[in-house]
Structure 1
Amino acid sequence: MPKRFEIRAPPEWGIEPVPKEHKILRGIDLFVLWSSLGVGLLVLVAGSLLVPGLSLIDAFVVSLIGSLIGSALLAAAGIIGSEYSIPTMVSLRPILGKSGSYIPTALNVIQLIGWTAFELMIMGAAAANISGPILGSYTRIFWTIIFAIWCAALAIGGPLVFVRKWLERVAIWLVYLSTIWITLQVLTRPETWSLFMKPGDGTLPMLLALDLV
């Protein structure tokens, strides 16, 4: 593989500003990192909540608009990080002060715990559907525990292990392949195309759907 297409991860600098000479992330690095967050089981499950309240076409439109808005907000926040080379929570210190920044940091920790729990539930349910009831009613619990242990190991290993050793070398490519496979499975079903002509039942307002996305 040509060197310009190789994925390289930068060194970690904690809360200290990253020296300019070490800001080496390229487009491919950022693409892999952020696309891994935009493609996943939880995203697919969240999208399924838009129907039958919306038609399938309306759901696609809302998903596109919501993704553009969310990406714009992330990009706007990323400008600060790019200019000052500091993490998001640290960038709040000039506004809230060092002590004041602890509040959004604590809230961020809480929402990350909740988000992780939800992710583990979805992964456990998906794995149970794939494997079948190998352990009866405990199958979903079994897979959830397995994924929880794996995620804990990655967390203990730290960002370097997660990004450099797991995400960029293995996980992101599995995500891409599984997403392509799921998409092909859906599009090759005859009933899928009839759903494009089916109107929504109106139980989900467009603005609420946009907020969900």
Structure 2
Amino acid sequence: MKIKNSTLFLIWAGAAISIAEVFTGSYFAPLGLTKGILSILLGHIIGTLFFALGGLMSFRVKKPAIESTKGVLGERGMVFIGLLNVLQLVGWTAVMIIQSAKAFNGAIGMSTAIGIFVVGISVLLWTLFFDNEAYWINDIAVVLLFILTIFVVLYLKGGKIASVTGDMSFSGAVELAVAMPVSWLPLVGDYTINAKDGKSSFIYTFAGYFIASCFMYFIGLYVALKTGGKDIISYFASIKTGIVPLLIILLSTVTTTFMDVYSAAISTLSIVKAKLSRKSLLIIYSIVGLIAAYLFPMDNYQNFLYAIGSVFIPAYTVVFEDFFLMKSKSHSFLNVPATISFAVGTIFYNYLTYFGTNLSKWFITPTIGTIILTAVIYPIMKSLNKREEKIYG
């Protein structure tokens, strides 16, 4: 079934309108308003461009997101990326449930443990009664969530912008902005595969996510600056608004987390010959995400986002360079040059993230540096591999 352009726009706007996006935006407060906004925009331009290119690739090859990487990475490479995607999606499911449960605790005093159970069961019930085809429900939820978010922000009208202390660097902030859209990369194609045309798959996917995600980050930044460093969950706890934030939290969590669970199921079906049906996998991953929410170390949330970037940025740099620019022949088993380039890129990303902060003054953020290095290494590795094949083949 073809997806209308407006629906495609709202699907990804809805994915971005979530408590996790607002929460992440609050990390930018130490940079101040101007630098905070600049880092949000720069990071989202890079991250959402990658994200939309992934959607376009799936549309062209007419394969789901993970399966579309097989032509470049080979079967084993596709399986590896698929497994990493399932792992990060379970992590995202847990993060969304935890953040929502904490907001419930702040708004109405519900214990976090009970909140995790309530939100997790809500996600499970959604998977039982609504299939991925129920786009109109998501459309309504997105519009309602946007309106409710505006109402909550209005509680902060008046007053001055506060100065917030912290160790967030401009480079680190850009990475947090890149990581969110990039985390959707391994599933965007599951939706754009049904777009009307390639141009629509790119434009409406990019616009829907970019506009809504930037707006959510701005809200998080604004709330933190107006409250002296409070994140959105702490803000809910302080204003005790009751039903309004609860509606925002529950609707955004259910609609967004379902997309995580749905993609985990699709990825599983793409990489293994599972006898389980899609519906069974949706239920399984909903339950696994609920259990993981009780175990996930939220203190490492920021590192979780960096880990996503360290994996998918170099992997998809190779995929896009090969697919859109080099247009190489399909690799049936494993693309060794791509694997080496991806591994080097991952190591380099982590080095820049934790030890290369002095390069940020040149705008060489981990993402930008990794894209450049990986894009340069991959053609070299391919050239060396061809020479080796000629000599030993």
Q: Is the shorter-chain TM-score for this pair beyond 0.5, marking a shared fold? A: yes
Instruction: Indicate whether 1:60 and 2:12 are aligned.
Output: no
Residue of structure 2 equivalent to 1:208: 172
Matches within 5 A, 1:33-112: 33-51=11-29, 53-112=30-89
Alpha-carbon contact 2:11-2:135 (below 8 Å) kept = no
In the TM superposition, what whole-angstrom CA distance separates every residue of 1:127-163 from its partner, at most 9, and x where no partner exists? 22121x2x5xxx22212111101112223446436x4
Distance 1:165 1:27 in 2: 13
Structure 2: which amino acid aligns with 1:182? Answer: V
Query: Are 1:30 and 2:8 an aligned pair?
Result: yes
Distance, in Å, in 2 between the alignment partners of 1:157 and 1:111 is 25
Consecutive unaligned residues in structure 2, runs of 5 or more: 178-393
**2:185 — aligned with what?**
none
**CA distance in structure 2 between the aligned counterparts of 1:202 and 1:110, rounded to whole angstroms:** 30
> Percent identity of the aligned residues?
21
Per the TM alignment, residue 68 of structure 1 is displaced from its structure 2 partner at its CA by: 1.7
Q: Distance in 1 between matches of 2:83 and 2:127?
A: 18
Corresponding pairs, count: 177
- Per-residue deviation at 1:60? 1.6
RMSD: 2.1
Gaps of 5+ in 1: 1-9, 11-23
TM-score (norm 2): 0.42
CA deviations 1:52-71 (Å, max 9, x no partner) are x2112211221122122211
Instruction: Tell me, yes or no, if the aligned pair for 2:27 and 2:168 is still in contact at 8 Å.
Output: no
The structure with the greater share of residues assigned to helix is 2
The one of the two structures with greater contact order (alpha-carbon pairs below 8 A, sep at least 6) is 1
Q: Is the 8 A contact 2:66 2:78 kept in 1?
A: yes
The two structures have a TM-score, normalised by structure 1, of 0.74
Give, in angstroms, the shift of residue 106 of structure 1: 0.8
Amino acid at match of 2:135: R
Contact 2:7-2:135 at 8 Å conserved across structures: no
1:80 shift after superposition: 0.7
1:43 partner amino acid: E
Shift in alpha-carbon separation, 1:150–1:111, aligned structure 2, 3 A: same
Q: Which moved more, 1:122-131 or 1:177-186?
A: 177-186
- Relative to structure 1, is the Cα distance of residues 159 and 87 closer, same or farther in structure 2, using a 3 angstrom cutoff? farther
Which of 88, 91, 103 is residue 126 of structure 1 equivalent to? 103
Residue pairs, 1:176-195, within 5 angstroms: 176-186=146-156, 188-191=157-160, 194-195=161-162
